[in-house]
C-alpha cells in the first residue's frame, strides 16, 4: 500500500517536546512537580473528583489532569508513565490526560 505524503496518522508522543494538540500519548514518562487541590466535576460524561498537576521531563513542562483514583495514587516528586493517553490544548497550554481508556502508572516513588 502506497503512503500519501500529506496523509499520516499522528505519531504518538513519548517526550514533552513532541507533544501536539489532539494527538495520542504513549509511554510518556515525567516527574510530578506540583499538584493542585482536587475538585468535583458533574457532567453527562463524568461525575467525580478531578485534579490538575504540572509535570516535566528533560525536554519541557506540561499540564496534567488526574481522575478519580489517580489523584490518590500520585504524589509530588513521583515519576509516572502515561500509556494510551491524549494531549489537548487548553488556553494555549498543552495538557495530558489518560482520558477514558488510558493508563497511569507510578514508575518511581519520591522518597521523603
| d(C-alpha 28, C-alpha 30), whole Å | 7
CA distances from 112 to 48, 79, 80, 97, 99 (A): 29, 14, 17, 26, 30
pTM of the full predicted structure?
Answer: 0.84
pLDDT in tens, 17-45: 999 999 999 999 999 999 999 999 999 98
pLDDT in tens, 44-102: 988 999 999 999 999 999 999 999 999 999 999 999 999 999 999 999 999 999 988 89
CATH class in words for 16-108: mainly beta
Amino acid at each position: 500500500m502506497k503512503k500519501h505524503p500529506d496523509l499520516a496518522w499522528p505519531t504518538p508522543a513519548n517526550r514533552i517536546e513532541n507533544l501536539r494538540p489532539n494527538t495520542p500519548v504513549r509511554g510518556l514518562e515525567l516527574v510530578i512537580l506540583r499538584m493542585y487541590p482536587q475538585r468535583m466535576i458533574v457532567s453527562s460524561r463524568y461525575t467525580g473528583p478531578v485534579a490538575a498537576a504540572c509535570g516535566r521531563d528533560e525536554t519541557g513542562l506540561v499540564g496534567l489532569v488526574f481522575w478519580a483514583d489517580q489523584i490518590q495514587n500520585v504524589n509530588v516528586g513521583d515519576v509516572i508513565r502515561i500509556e494510551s493517553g491524549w494531549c489537548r490544548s487548553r488556553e494555549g497550554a498543552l495538557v495530558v490526560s489518560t482520558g477514558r481508556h488510558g493508563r497511569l502508572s507510578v514508575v518511581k516513588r519520591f522518597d521523603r
